[in-house]
Structure 1
Amino acid sequence: MPVPAAPATEHPPVRVARPRIGLLGVMQPLYDDMIPGITEHQAAYAARVAEQLSEVADWTVGPPVRGRADAEDTVRGFEAAGLDGVLVVMLTYGPSLRLTPVLSRMRLPVALANIQPDPRVGASWDMADMTYNQGIHGAQDTANAMVRAGLPFEVVTGDWQDPAFAVRIDRWARAARAVTSLRSLRVGVFGYPMNGMGDARVDETALMRVLGPEVHVIAPGTLHRTMAGLPERAVADLMEWEDGVFEVDGRLSAEERTDHARMQLGIEQLLEESGCGAYSTHFDAIGEDGRFARLPMAAASTLMAKGYGFAGEGDVLAASAVYAAHQLAGDGHFTEMYAMDFPSDSVLMSHMGEGNWRIAREDEPVRLIKRPLGIGGLDDPPTILFRYRPGPATLASLVALGGDRFRLVVTEGEVIDAPELPSLEMPYGQFRPENGLRACMDAWLRAGGTHHMAMNTGARAEDWRVLCELTGVEYVRV
């Protein structure tokens, strides 16, 4: 189905599902005789924590875990419910070895909240208050056991009623959602990857073991047959939607627009049928097939705007990164560094013609243009043209280092309000790294950063860092 229309001057991020998080509260029966009712007292505290954080996630609060069997039952329930992650909260001290075996088998991302009911030590405290607020050494015991077991996890220390604590939990919850989504992701590859492009090559079984994405090859002929079988009404509806959202180039013929619309709808139908949340096309795989009139440029832009991951040239790594960028912030965008501009200390960002138009400037129309393109040897592909919106931005590159070793290279900076490039008929913008073009590029190359990457608007480096903490992927900020 076509994308719901956005207002002409606004391009809000795609809506992604709220994170669904389980709260695992830990204590032990040792204190029952000393403080009658302590289990109910601390269960109410766990419920208040979830209520305080209700704006950042949908919460499932398990009953207080008082031993290994309780932990097993609660975690099984979280996994059966398809939650995105588990927040461990020490309701009192809880011995770690009752919990660690359960966490070591659990696939859901974990954060350890180092918090306590009361934010300060009071003069009126007695032994009961000490017991209610002693979570810190349970957190230390549990974290130590998890480190020794080699389990990835995030830690958030703070006053649970402080807005800053909610910000950090929100970041972790979105990263947990991204990690869980990657573990079930399928990346559709139409045809084959670009020959000779080394930084996009990856051991697919290693990628699946470490991060989860599965590569699903789709024959170009399947796309051709799907396009032919589409109902005329669906094609007309998509073109009508485009008329309302984009400034459409009058030079585009009805044949060009119809063919493009069929390609977009055909790609999306195949992605839905095969359960793919991301995909990649390579111009040679489309061009050499012999049955297609043009490349699916505009299709990639609007499918990214709908929330699909995308990368060109069969690049599964970048397509997975763009998909994760959607899960983190809702505006994942595929791009690459084209050329350095030393006077402005920036780098020109673009690709052949694909880009998420939800990151477009809001003071200029997004245009659907007739655009000649020699690459692929086909007819002119309708292309969505826009300039990137000025402001903070983050680039992230997923790097395969061999075996099960992966690295994420990240840099923050800003898209500058650079002069227009009237002859450039593809999405573009100029990115100025926070540490300067020369230092950033030196470090990017030393770290093996790839030439395809995901982009988000905003400062998102910490979001990516947390994702790496939860997966064991090496994080390098340049």
Structure 2
Amino acid sequence: MTTMTKEVWFVTGSQDLYGPKVLENVAANSQAIVAGLNESGKLPVKMVFKPTVKSPDEIHAVCQQANASADCVGLVLWMHTFSPAKMWIAGLSELRKPWLHLHTQFNAALPWDDINMNYMNTHQSAHGDREFGFIGTRMRKDRKVVVGHWQRPEVQDQIDDWCRAALGWAESKSLKVARFGDNMRQVAVTEGDKVAAQIQFGYEVHAHGLGELSDVVNAVSDADIASQLDLYHQDYVISDATWKESYNVDMLKNEARLELGMQRFLDGGNYKAFTNCFENLSGLTGLPGLATQRLMANGYGYGGEGDWKTSAMVRIMKVMGQGREGGCSFMEDYTYNFGAKDQALGAHMLEVCPSIAAAKPRLEVHRHTIGVKCDVGRLLFEAKQGPAINVSPIDMGNRFRILINEVDTVKQPAETPHLPVASALWEPKPNLSVAAAAWIHAGGAHHTAYSQAVTTDMIIDYAEMAGVETVVIDADTTIRSFKSELRSNAAYYMLKQGI
């Protein structure tokens, strides 16, 4: 899932008014900023310096070049001097890549004893960026604005977050999701308009019969299965009883066959996300457990019961969060713990990604009793403690909405010896009472993409790139203001679509 070949272009605006010496300084300063950002080690992409643009033709050319580049996922635009904003109209009109407006200046402190008009003319982003900001607003262009000195950690963190959102958007536009079987019968929220989703988000959703998949699964060799069992032995805690019981080993071989077969099918079709459903398993030995968990851990998106929207979101968020601690998983609000501080226990029948585990997972075989009754190997663990987000992409019928709830994942107060699934215990912000009511008012799904690596701002930036509504439930949420926001958003997004 490496993205080091992906780039964000750093483009500086100026004009010929100031003469060659000033423009030499502008170029040198821009190159130094690019080098500093790359050397910070924070960015998931390569920041690429582009020559200073000083005219409408140069601006238009670099925007067209960005559009045509498969490696460029976005641009950082900065006005070192004054760059008359009418020069940017043609370029911004055609630019199809997301962009961040960086409002900074090269030097942090003013040279009080030496400052003169030459310095002022060279370092005038304070008003050059405001001129540029006007044209972005006048043209109604969604973009990120980051303000502060470029060497400050908080500024670099914001740039990092935005670059990750741009990676997610690039992934969204090229993503393919495979549906093995259909949605769970009679369930509403996992349905949706796949054509509208492709228009809005770019990703494709394709259905495949179970026979196509089972043919590939059944072709997996015994030698490959044996090698896979060796990996399981290295990666997980497995009791001697499991290894010595031939029936349990056969169940693990079954998961190995499913994992390798599904991965070969997905890779053969260039799919990076998939769904399945316990009601559609013809030709398979059962609902994949360990197999799905390991595929998610290797970067594939997943959605249970045919939930292709959440499957795509999990993959997109895995791309955004790569290289960070915390992981990302398909998740479900399963049951509540009402106590001194109300909590939600997140889990699913089998498919929780071990990338969120607090410790080395245990691999066990247990009975699966929903939809199909059979023994299935699966990983058991508790999620890491710390801040996290639950993200729900939903189809509102006339538009899409992305709902975010910020939560704090905590340690479970007791063991759960009879619960044969991985789980995460969290306390929603601002509290369960407000968070659950707000979630329900917003039409949030019971499935989510859960992550401790991806931030709220990254999801907001991604949604703005896609042009869809985001709603956030956080520590400041109240039901009164939240319902008012939903009503305002409904009016805005309906008007935005036009007649």
CA displacement 1:410-461 (0-9 Å, x = unmatched): 3232233331211110111211113111111111111221110011126722
Task: State whether residues 13 and 77 of structure 2, in contact with CA within 8 Å, keep that contact through their aligned partners in structure 1.
Answer: yes
Indicate whether 1:329 and 2:321 are aligned: yes
User: Aligned partners of 1:277 and 1:247: how far apart in 2?
Assistant: 28
Task: State whether residues 403 and 470 of structure 2, in contact with CA within 8 Å, keep that contact through their aligned partners in structure 1.
Answer: yes
Query: Which has the higher mean CA deviation after the structures are superposed, 396-405 or 440-449?
Result: 396-405
CA RMSD between the two structures: 1.9
Indicate whether 1:40 and 2:24 are aligned: yes
Cα 1:104–1:239 change in 2 (3 A) is: farther
Deviation at 1:324, TM superposition (A): 2.0
* Amino acid corresponding to residue 360 of structure 1 in structure 2: A
Indicate whether 1:20 and 2:45 are aligned: no
Deviation at 1:98, TM superposition (A): 2.1
Partner of 1:266: 261
1:432 maps to which of 413, 427, 433? 427
Deviation at 1:146, TM superposition (A): 2.2
Indicate whether 1:375 and 2:342 are aligned: no
2:165 maps to which of 158, 163, 175? 175
Task: State whether residues 109 and 180 of structure 1, in contact with CA within 8 Å, keep that contact through their aligned partners in structure 2.
Answer: no
* Amino acid corresponding to residue 346 of structure 2 in structure 1: M
Partner of 1:242: 232
* Amino acid corresponding to residue 95 of structure 1 in structure 2: P
Deviation at 1:18, TM superposition (A): 7.4
Task: State whether residues 283 and 376 of structure 1, in contact with CA within 8 Å, keep that contact through their aligned partners in structure 2.
Answer: yes
Deviation at 1:186, TM superposition (A): 0.8
* Amino acid corresponding to residue 354 of structure 1 in structure 2: E
Higher RCO, Cα 8 Å, sep 6+? 1
Partner of 2:338: 342
User: Aligned partners of 1:51 and 1:349: how far apart in 2?
Assistant: 43
Alignment TM-score, normalising by the size of structure 2: 0.87
For 1:199-348, list aligned pairs within 5 A: 199-248=189-238, 249-250=242-243, 251=245, 252-286=247-281, 289=282, 291-330=283-322, 331-343=327-339, 344-348=341-345
Cα 1:202–1:17 change in 2 (3 A) is: farther
Unaligned 5+ runs, structure 1:
1-13
% identical equivalent positions: 26
2:330 match: secondary structure: strand
Partner of 1:7: none
User: Aligned partners of 1:25 and 1:51: how far apart in 2?
Assistant: 14
Cα 1:405–1:293 change in 2 (3 A) is: closer
Indicate whether 1:64 and 2:52 are aligned: yes
Task: State whether residues 416 and 432 of structure 1, in contact with CA within 8 Å, keep that contact through their aligned partners in structure 2.
Answer: no
Indicate whether 1:100 and 2:89 are aligned: yes
CA displacement 1:347-394 (0-9 Å, x = unmatched): 0100011111121122xx412211111223242121121111222222
1:258 match: secondary structure: helix
User: Aligned partners of 2:399 and 2:90: how far apart in 1?
Assistant: 24
Cα 1:333–1:444 change in 2 (3 A) is: same
User: Aligned partners of 1:315 and 1:278: how far apart in 2?
Assistant: 11
* Amino acid corresponding to residue 37 of structure 2 in structure 1: L
Partner of 2:79: 90
Cα 1:214–1:459 change in 2 (3 A) is: closer
* Amino acid corresponding to residue 387 of structure 1 in structure 2: E
User: Aligned partners of 1:464 and 1:257: how far apart in 2?
Assistant: 37
Partner of 2:357: 360
User: Aligned partners of 1:305 and 1:16: how far apart in 2?
Assistant: 17
Unaligned 5+ runs, structure 2:
474-499
Partner of 2:497: none
Deviation at 1:15, TM superposition (A): 6.3
* Amino acid corresponding to residue 11 of structure 2 in structure 1: L
2:376 match: secondary structure: coil
Deviation at 1:266, TM superposition (A): 1.0
Deviation at 1:253, TM superposition (A): 3.2
